[in-house]
Structure 1
């Protein structure tokens, strides 16, 4: 059956560095999470187009230590592979080192980390037909740039052979994100080059042996949108998969920048996961998309029409566990949040930590995945002292975020505020007295603007401030992540005097 669809991300929002594997008719995919927890979400699909999150690989502190982790550090570039009945996910916690975890079921709890004495980042695993297993990754701090490889014992994580430089790339800076494949007896080494910005690209080399020597494709890069006006930019960091029917596909990251007239391009949704077909040239090289470019529309003869997994638009916090879309900043403190304290509500106990700190505030957030969307929440909060604060944030990192929140003023009592934090500058731009302790806080997102509002129960929406999306973009704020919509509470340097209760949270694509 033929399927035609726009070349939009198959997993929209901040889901970068995709890696996948096939098990029979099922496909599983993981992405990077950096300083957010739980770490490394895992998705399932039957057709490569429709993906549903089924869990996380890193769900407990023994697997994921993010204390003091600066924004955009933490866990980078996972690789997912399946071998002899086990799934393996290998990654680097850049604050600590590289490790892998394994599980017999992808949605089930994963093992404790097996740490690997391995330099560099972006480790990948390759299980060869003769039983040998190889680890590949980037250069260490004192090594010439390029992709290095050793054999590894998967029972212990012990490196069995000396590191060997396989390939220095095609000449682009930052060769990284390697994946090894064996196709028709040849070994193919596919990597990312050019940095994960607008010069990002995918290149490939091949050899008769996993040790090389590797010969670069004369038509490199095999995927790049650099120096083009394509609506999707920074394409790179790809992984290949072959479907049951023999067809080949690539999943890779890209960004969708918004053009601001006379200013430039900005992207704030983060690096997203895209899909493109792969063909093989007469010379035996993979060709991604239309001669290394994505087309605006893709017609695929081989994909089945899978079920479209639509995330729940409203969370009433009726479950005993958070939905899989929610994340914490770094390792959460168990006493800062609860779904049991007031059944049907999310309770946040504000700590001294704020959204401006490199710490773990009382915060849960979900990715903004669409340019045009709305988000709102019902908050019950009765602050008793100045400094008590709870609300809704649009959050890029500790230096760039917007809030609409309920707080306390000793002169007028409860009030709603709108605040913007841009770098070292921050300002409460609007404030208004409110009568009760219950309030609806919300925002409407468009490609270039966030518009905020509040409403008292059974009252009308009151517009209450706006902020540019570009100020929360990677081009301004830096880093490798994307915007989150979050619920939070803080005592701004002290413990909050009362808990904040959130009855529901709604996210709707427009």
Structure 2
């Protein structure tokens, strides 16, 4: 009896310790909310590095660092010099597709596709924070979504490519191909090999086999790739072989991740999951990062394709993503400690942030297609961002005076404090919510009938112009103005104010689906941004922005 009394509290104490050890942090999805698609990841020691697609936004290919897979800090952008490349003349959803990141013997490698200029390329750095090299284009590797695999002293580049002999058997018929790679010259060696033709079962006409990665575990080479296209039919599939060149045999329980079979009317859905990469977690187990979306209705979403994480279990020596749940969870408990980073900007969960324009832009801000510092300044006016009104407009494919940051929440808002006086009706400055060249809402200050007005425009995909939705006259000589745009899932509302926090509603709950991927098309998400233009004319006029606020509050996040 005495032994039993001693044993029970000891067992309970051990269980409590075990329970505490298993719940030291919460991995909160998405780990990169907003337009951060096509994630790829690598681990170096105790450090994790992750990259995502940026298309024509500049700087391109953000590089995130973490020590716990929860707290992510952007430490660089791999494409940050116009001398590396620019995307002038390209539509928003072109540019850079699907980067991958690898580390081998002191060197970091990023592979990616510049879809309209040069194709697949490699850049390198000894430090992931840069500087990164100029791109080396791999002309022989024709296709998209390249990644590297290192097998002892040998290196390989694999990628999505054309069907055999470039003769598709059906729409979306693609292959995964591979070359050996000389790391000294970054040139291919020998012959190209087709590793996968079509997908898991070509008799079922699988489409868009892409984003391939190879991993070596025990005595097998595992080839993992996305299949089904980056929408509601998206999935992740896996093959394996005893030889790096194949033949690769598909897992008989493929796909290892998909949501295409789930009820689209389910509460708070995560959909379109796929395009995954695997990494070892701090606990020694395997985890997957992958893209997904959070639609507010059906397949409508404005926040773009985002980065999620889920655990992986090896079942009969096959990796299965999210094995304990029917759908990807908004939160997973992990058994290691959180490690926040110094000067880490808020990126996940609910947050509010104000950017004071003192001497630089933080790395959450993006330009269109290239970086040209001649049209903005932090020195011209103290503690302010001064923006010149350019003739370029947001409807064109150049470098307008636009500086944006991602909409990361379904429920969100952005606001600015602005000092600006328009001289002509073509001169405009204000705040925009932007998806592409014809799908946007623009809240701005201008003049009409020689009177200062606040105006609201909507991009017109038919005329490739913008239509005036609403305007209101402002008091005479009102230089200071506050502008605010808020999103509530499928609607946007627009305010202006003569004093801070004294908002007047200009237009309420306009159609937000117009900015959704389902309507606007492409691969990006919406951005809130500063935008000033003289609409085709030269102008010496400038707008002064004093701060930029962003607030996001989605109920799916744990408090």
- Smaller-chain TM-score range? over 0.9
1:397: Cα distance to partner?
A: 0.2
TM normalised by structure 1 equals 0.95
1:347: Cα distance to partner?
A: 1.5
For the aligned residue pairs, the C-alpha RMSD in angstroms reads 1.8
Contact 1:387–1:496 under 8 Å retained in 2? no
Match of 2:194 in 1: 165
- In terms of fraction of residues, the more helix-rich structure is 2
How does 1:375-414 map onto structure 2 within 5 Å?
375-409=414-448, 411-414=449-452
In structure 2, distance between residues paired with 1:86 and 1:205: 28
How does 1:67-146 map onto structure 2 within 5 Å?
67-96=88-117, 97-117=119-139, 118-129=141-152, 131-140=153-162, 143=166, 145-146=174-175
Contact 1:14–1:271 under 8 Å retained in 2? yes
Q: Give the 3-state SS of the residue equivalent to 2:518 in structure 1.
A: helix
In structure 2, distance between residues paired with 1:394 and 1:459: 20
Match of 2:277 in 1: 239
**Higher radius of gyration, 1 or 2:** 2
1:185: Cα distance to partner?
A: 2.4
Contact 2:484–2:494 under 8 Å retained in 1? yes
Aligned pair in 2 of structure 1 residues 295, 159: CA closer, same or farther (>3 Å)?
Answer: closer
Deviations 1:172-217, CA, capped at 9 Å, x for gaps: 2010000011011210000001000100000010001110010000
Contact 1:345–1:502 under 8 Å retained in 2? yes
Contact 2:496–2:503 under 8 Å retained in 1? yes
In structure 1, distance between residues paired with 2:324 and 2:102: 28
In structure 1, distance between residues paired with 2:467 and 2:87: 29
Match of 1:478 in 2: 521
1:32: Cα distance to partner?
A: 0.2
Runs of 4 or more above 4 Å deviation? 4-7
1:414: Cα distance to partner?
A: 1.6
Q: Give the 3-state SS of the residue equivalent to 2:133 in structure 1.
A: coil
Counterpart pick for 1:488 among 531, 534, 540: 531
1:459: Cα distance to partner?
A: 7.5
1:345: Cα distance to partner?
A: 1.2
Match of 1:194 in 2: 228
How does 1:271-282 map onto structure 2 within 5 Å?
271-281=305-315
Match of 1:441 in 2: 483
Aligned pair in 2 of structure 1 residues 403, 35: CA closer, same or farther (>3 Å)?
Answer: same
Aligned pair in 2 of structure 1 residues 79, 251: CA closer, same or farther (>3 Å)?
Answer: same
Task: Return 5+ residue gaps in structure 2 as ranges.
Answer: 1-20, 168-173, 347-351, 554-559
1:496: Cα distance to partner?
A: 3.0
In structure 2, distance between residues paired with 1:416 and 1:287: 54
Contact 2:27–2:334 under 8 Å retained in 1? no
Aligned pair in 2 of structure 1 residues 123, 293: CA closer, same or farther (>3 Å)?
Answer: farther
How does 1:46-445 map onto structure 2 within 5 Å?
46-96=67-117, 97-117=119-139, 118-129=141-152, 131-140=153-162, 143=166, 145-168=174-197, 169-171=199-201, 172-229=206-263, 231-259=269-297, 264-281=298-315, 283-290=316-323, 293-296=326-329, 298-307=331-340, 309-311=344-346, 313-319=353-359, 321-409=360-448, 411-424=449-462, 426-435=466-475, 436-445=478-487
1:484: Cα distance to partner?
A: 0.1
In structure 1, distance between residues paired with 2:427 and 2:540: 7
Contact 2:283–2:336 under 8 Å retained in 1? no
Contact 2:55–2:96 under 8 Å retained in 1? yes
In structure 2, distance between residues paired with 1:240 and 1:112: 27
Structure 1 range deviating more: 308-317 or 134-143: 308-317
Deviations 1:447-468, CA, capped at 9 Å, x for gaps: 1211110001358211011422
1:306: Cα distance to partner?
A: 3.1
Match of 2:49 in 1: 28
